[in-house]
Amino acid sequence: MSPRGLLAGTLLAVFIYSAPAAAEPQVNVGLVPGLAWSRPHPTFAFYGGVHGDVLFGRASNQDVGLGPSLDVSSLAFGDLRLAPGLSVQLPRSIVDVTLTAGPLLRVHNGATFGAAGRAFIGGRAFNYYGNYAPGLGVVLGADVCFDGGPSTSLWVGAHIDAQWFAIPWIVLAGWLRGPSR
């Protein structure tokens, strides 16, 4: 068979036998309580935040996901940190790994800018029937602010899926509404 014939046969087979991609966005929101260490004045403090992301391009756990994310957090309730970023979820091996990086806006006696990085390690189910993908795991993070001299916060937290906090309210709403007819 000639190279042109082989190419034409291959293209024909791809167009005839290929199926449309079933990749839908996968959304996740979680609360992240944790412990932080910060400098230039070394101290340990409570870290608390909410993380949300939308990953595109995944049709199963074996696919790479890419999409926007947003972290809203605070260190010892003394500041407000907004960290929009880009998240990349690696294909699943034993655990799920999602890496996030982006700019940081820290509001504390004025606004300062910096950079933020996060690494989620744990379980994040791929939802074949919907767009919400629950997750549970450990998050390692670093925030660096460039305000005169660099200030750094390193933290570790538990990513607890927001659905666990919503379930009691959903049950209560169903109870108040009464039985369906």
Give per-residue pLDDT as tens, 104-128. Answer: 999 988 899 999 999 999 998 888 8
The domains found in the chain, sorted by start residue, are 18-177 (2.40.160)
What are the per-10-residue average pLDDT scores of the chain (181 residues)? 63 55 82 92 92 93 94 94 96 90 92 95 89 94 83 94 90 88 72
Q: What is the DSSP letter of 180?
A: -
State residue 8's pLDDT score.
Answer: 61
Per-residue pLDDT, 146: 87
- The 3-state DSSP class for residue 172 equals helix
Q: Which residues pair with 118 in a beta bridge?
A: 100, 141
In SS3 terms, 87-136 reads as: EEECCCCCCEEEEEEEEEEEECCCEEEEEEEEEEEEEECCCCCCCECCEE
Helices (H), the chain: 3-17, 163-177
Q: Specify the pLDDT at position 20.
A: 52
Q: What is the pLDDT of residue 149?
A: 63
Instruction: Return the pLDDT at 134.
Output: 92
Q: What is the pLDDT of residue 7?
A: 55
Residues 129-154 have pLDDT tens digits of: 889 999 999 999 999 998 766 688 99
